[in-house]
Amino acid sequence: MSRVAVVAAAAGVAAAVNLVVHLGGRLAGGDFRFTTPSGPARVDAVTVAGFSVIPLVAGLAVAALLAPRAGWVVRAAQIAGPLLAVATIAGMTLPADFDTISTVSLALCHLTLVPIIVVAAAALGRSRVTAEAVP
């Protein structure tokens, strides 16, 4: 699988899984509303998909570009990516005034990224080894 395909597949899986988690939260009664300085706001499906895909693609793209030249990047991505996914729960989700169901659902959205990042980064590392083995 090419590096582009790995990044695209990870993005697709992240968006799909987190949209299912968001839908489950909505069906369980979460309203995903929070207060901003300019007034009330809501986290909708587009926001969930965007906040899942954009940082994931950015990080994996960097890892994909650097992995063929620096193998340590894959290991760093497997550590830094999950740490950032978990840290953003404390930095973004918990400080907002969401109801409990919305908070739990959005925290789960962050946590679903952990295995996706680890698996995608490992695949990038394998594609590096495969690319080097081919004359």
Give 12-46 pLDDT, tens digit per residue: 999 999 999 999 999 999 999 999 999 999 999 99
Domain residue spans of the chain:
3-133
pTM: 0.89
How much is the CA Rg of the chain, to the nearest whole Å?
A: 17
Angle (CA) 129-134-135 rounded to 5° is 135
What residue type is 23 in one-letter code? L
Structure tokens belonging to residue 51: 């906040």
pLDDT of residue 100: 98
Whether residue 96 is predicted with pLDDT greater than 60 in this model: the reply is yes
**Whole-number Å distance between alpha carbons of 89 and 108:** 9
For residue 105, the surrounding DSSP H or E stretch is helix 100-133
Q: Is the pLDDT of residue 75 over 90?
A: yes
pLDDT at 127: 61
Residue type present at position 117:
I
Residue 135 has pLDDT above 60, yes or no: no
